[in-house]
Amino acid sequence: MQSAPTNSAPEAERPRPRHEESDQRVILYGMTWKDYEILLAVRGDRAGVRMYYLNGAIELMSPSRSHEGVKKTIARLLEAYCDGCGIELSGYGAWTLRNAPKERGAEPDECYIVGDTNKEVPDLAIEVVWTHGGLDKLEIYRGLGVAEVWVWDRDEGLRIFALSGERYQLSARSAFLPELDPAWLAGFLDQPTQTQAVHALRAALK
């Protein structure tokens, strides 16, 4: 994941498991778009492996339990925030996003549309970087036309990359949720459980 440098996030934004886990990743090079579609069809609706495609390379990624825990907690916090603020938010999980002419394909950790759901791509995608490496996700999402990519990294916290012209720029706030401070949201990740994190956020909103 390519990104602009920022200051390290507070410790509260960087939960670490008792036993360090790693995502499992394989990259296949020299693959055609047809190869990518065949692999998607073979996998079907079975969960467990996410696929990304970029200019002839296919990334197969099996997220660790820790990866999945962080992404689900962020998703629940974001949904609780929007619910508490009366914001229309529709979630689409790991929606398979594809653009054959631009040779881009992605399955985000989570993705959302804010407001009107009559859109071809989500307004924002969430990517958790638990184990570094793999294809350039921002380049993939740029080709797919996703307006914002929210990236959580153990060392950098939660950052928002907004598509401006032909490139992503690091942004302090989301254009779709301008009142939400991403560092504030990520601060609830230090709670012992997802339920406690959501309860703490709802209490803070009152």
Within a domain: 9: no
- Please check the confidence at residue 177 and state whether its pLDDT lies above 80: yes
Quote the CA–CA distance of 87 and 176 in Å, as a whole number: 10
Q: How many helices (H) and strands (E) does the chain have?
A: 5, 11
| Residue 20 pLDDT level (bands cut at 50, 70, 90) | low
Within a domain: 176: yes
Within a domain: 175: yes
pLDDT at 44: 84
Within a domain: 119: yes
Number of Cβ atoms within 10 Å of the Cβ of 55? 14
pTM, to two decimals: 0.87
- Expressed as residue numbers, the domain containing 190 is 65-205
Give 105's strand partners.
53, 98
Count of the separate structural domains present in the chain = 1
Ranking 45-59, 135-149, 174-188 by mean pLDDT, the lowest is 45-59
Give 162's strand partners.
148, 169
Return the closest-CA partner of residue 54 out of 144, 181, 133, 149.
144
Quote the CA–CA distance of 67 and 201 in Å, as a whole number: 21
Within a domain: 5: no
Mean pLDDT calculated for residue range 73-77: 98
Quote the CA–CA distance of 118 and 72 in Å, as a whole number: 25
Ranking 13-22, 60-69, 146-155, 187-196 by mean pLDDT, the lowest is 13-22
Q: What is the pLDDT of residues 90-100, one digit of tens each?
A: 999 999 999 99
Between these two residues, 55 and 4, which has the higher pLDDT value? 55
| Residue 19 pLDDT level (bands cut at 50, 70, 90) | low
CB 67 within 8 A of CB 23: yes
3-class SS shares of the chain: helix, strand, coil, % to 5 = 30, 25, 40
User: What tokens appear for 163 in the block?
Assistant: 């598509």
Q: Residue 92 is part of a domain; what is its CATH number?
A: 3.90.1570
